[in-house]
Amino acid sequence: MAGKTTFMKAVAINLLLAQTIGLCFAEKAELPPARIKTLIEREDTISGGRSCFFFDASELLRLIREAEVAAQDCWFVVDELFRGTNSPERVAASFAILNYLTTRWVVLASTHDQEAMPGLGDRFDSYHFTERIDQGAVRFDYRLRPGPCDSRNAIKLLEMTGYPREITDLAEKIVRQFGSN
């Protein structure tokens, strides 16, 4: 809701514009020629028998193989990798893949999995968007800020949409327990 996916798309479009017509929306840009590989919008397909996770895994492997065969510089723009699977394996697989990609190409990636970032900190600069919740409204300024995001809003959004207090109180209790481990 804060604009992360829109930002990722805008970066990819500007990379494409810079590569094709030599201009982009920036005060200054010095970009080496490179192929652009994106994994941004995707859905599971019941009729195709492919979950979100399986789609991500298959599509990203295809992009990696294309980049390896082309033997050219590439930009990888990846939004929320493996969001359709369990947390421990999502974090581990995301870490392993991002580690692999960054040893070969330039990578712009987004994630809500802050657990994946400590081991990748030397390869990525962290940025975030944030929100302000007041008087029952969520407000975004859509400004990119340095560092990892330190705010959480999911349970507050559940409260705002009218979930029973029994649910939101339990969710808050569980978050506090996880936070103290």
User: Phi and psi of 134, rounded to 5°?
Assistant: -150, 145
Architecture of domain 4-148: 3-Layer(aba) Sandwich (3.40)
Which pLDDT does position 44 carry in this prediction? 64
CA distance 73 to 70: 9
> Looking at the predicted structure, is the pLDDT value of residue 38 above 90?
yes
Q: Quick count: other Cβ atoms within 10 Å of Cβ 39?
A: 19
Q: What is the pLDDT of residues 47-71, one digit of tens each?
A: 777 778 888 889 999 999 999 998 8
Query: What whole-number percentage of the chain has pLDDT above 90?
Result: 36
Helix (H) or strand (E) holding 103: none
> Looking at the predicted structure, is the pLDDT value of residue 157 above 90?
no
CA distance 65 to 50: 20
Q: In the chain, where are the structural domains located?
A: 4-148, 151-181
